C-alpha cells in the first residue's frame, strides 16, 4: 500500500519555469525523502527532510515539510529539459517498531519542454 | 564505490524456468532491499535484509526467494513465475534499516523482467 500521494500526477512546463510537486502522507514519520526516476530505470535520491525540519535546500531543489498537515512539497527552480523524469516522495513504514523501510507515493511525471 | 550494481539488466524467462537476479554493493551498507515496479506505478517493497538476515517479507509469493550470501550481495531466485510478474525489479541499499539514521537509499538500475 502507498503511504504517500503526489499531486499533480503529471506536470508539463517550459524550460526556465519552476515546478512544484506536492506529497501527502498518512501516518507519523521520521523523515520524508524525494527520489527521481528517469525512463523506468533506477531511482536517484534527491533530498531527505527530517520530521523536525520545515525546509531544506539542495541546489535548485527546495523541500518543505508540514507535519501538522502531513504534507511536503518539492520545488525545482529554473527547470531544464534534463529535469524531465518521474518524482516520488517516500516515507518510512512502521513495522511494529522496526522502521526505516521506504514506501513510495504514486509519483509525479514532470515534462520540461525546451 | 557508491553504486548498487544489478545483473542482468534484462531477462526474458519462461514460466517453467529458474533464474536469479543479482545485486551487489560495496559501500558497507548493512541493509538491502528488493522492490518490484510495474509500469507507471511506484516501487513496491518486497523484501528487506538487515545485517544479512531477512527482516521483512511483504507477503511475497514463494516463487520469489531472496538470499543474502554476504553483506555485499543480494540475490532474488525466481521459479515458476507468471506473466503478471513481469516488471522492473529494483535493488537498493542503505547504511542501516533504521529511520532514526535518516539515510537515503541507493538504488541499482534494475532488472527488467519479462515472463513469457
CA distance A68 to B5: 39
Instruction: Specify the pLDDT at position B73.
Output: 98
B76: number of Cβ within 10 Å: 23
Mutate to test the interface with B, among A32, A42, A53 (most CBs of B within 10 A): A42
d(CA A90, CA A46): 11
Q: How far is B105 from chain A (nearest CA, A)?
A: 7
Query: For residue B94, which of B36, B42, B25, B43 has the smallest C-alpha distance?
Result: B25
Residue-wise DSSP of B43-86: -EEEEEEETTEEEEE-S--TTEEEEEEETTEEEEEEES--GGG-
- How many CB atoms neighbour CB B61 within 10 A? 11
- pLDDT score recorded for residue B11: 98
pLDDT in tens, B71-91: 999 999 999 999 999 999 999
Q: In this structure, what are the phi and psi dihedrals at residue A72, rounded to the nearest 5 degrees?
A: -140, 155
Q: Which of B21, B38, B43 to mutate to test the interface with A (most CBs of A within 10 A)?
A: B43
CA distance B107 to chain A (A): 6
B99 interface with A at CB cutoff 8 Å: yes
Residue A1: its pLDDT value, please?
42
pLDDT tens, residue by residue, A17-72? 999 999 999 888 888 999 999 987 899 999 999 989 999 999 999 999 999 999 99
Q: Do B108 and A42 touch (CB under 8 A)?
A: yes
Please compute the mean of the pLDDT values over residues B91-108 and round it to a whole number: 80
| pLDDT(B44) > 60 | yes
Predicted confidence (pLDDT) at residue A4 exceeds the cutoff of 70: no
Looking at residue A16, its pLDDT comes to: 98
Average pLDDT of every residue of chain A = 89
Nearest Cβ partner of A102 from B88, B98, B105?
Answer: B105
Average pLDDT over residues B29-35: 93
Locate A24 and state its grid cell.
Answer: 501527502
With a cut of 80, say whether residue A77 has pLDDT above it: yes
Is B90's Cβ below 8 Å from some Cβ in A? yes
Amino acid at each position: 500500500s502507498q503511504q504517500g500521494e503526489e499531486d499533480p500526477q503529471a506536470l508539463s512546463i517550459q524550460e526556465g519555469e519552476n515546478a512544484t510537486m506536492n506529497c501527502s502522507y498518512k501516518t507519523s514519520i521520521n523523515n520524508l525523502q524525494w527520489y527521481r526516476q528517469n525512463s523506468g530505470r533506477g531511482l536517484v535520491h534527491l533530498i531527505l527532510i527530517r520530521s523536525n525540519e520545515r525546509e531544506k535546500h539542495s541546489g535548485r531543489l527546495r523541500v518543505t515539510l508540514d507535519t501538522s498537515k502531513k504534507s511536503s512539497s518539492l520545488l525545482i527552480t529554473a527547470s531544464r529539459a534534463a529535469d524531465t523524469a518521474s518524482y516520488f516522495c517516500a516515507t518510512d513504514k512502521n513495522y511494529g517498531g522496526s522502521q526505516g523501510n521506504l514506501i513510495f507515493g504514486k509519483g509525479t511525471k514532470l515534462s520540461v519542454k525546451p | 564505490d557508491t553504486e548498487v550494481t544489478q545483473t542482468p539488466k534484462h531477462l526474458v524467462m519462461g514460466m517453467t524456468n529458474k533464474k536469479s537476479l543479482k545485486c551487489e554493493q560495496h559501500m558497507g551498507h548493512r541493509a538491502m532491499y528488493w522492490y518490484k515496479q510495474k509500469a507507471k506505478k511506484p516501487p513496491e517493497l518486497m523484501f528487506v535484509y538487515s545485517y544479512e538476515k531477512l527482516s521483512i517479507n511483504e507477503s511475497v509469493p514463494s516463487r520469489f526467494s531472496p538470499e543474502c550470501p554476504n553483506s555485499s550481495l543480494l540475490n532474488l531466485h525466481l521459479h515458476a513465475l507468471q506473466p503478471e510478474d513481469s516488471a522492473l525489479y529494483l535493488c537498493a541499499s542503505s547504511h542501516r534499516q533504521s529511520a532514526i539514521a535518516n539515510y537515503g537509499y541507493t538504488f541499482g538500475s534494475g532488472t527488467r523482467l519479462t515472463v513469457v
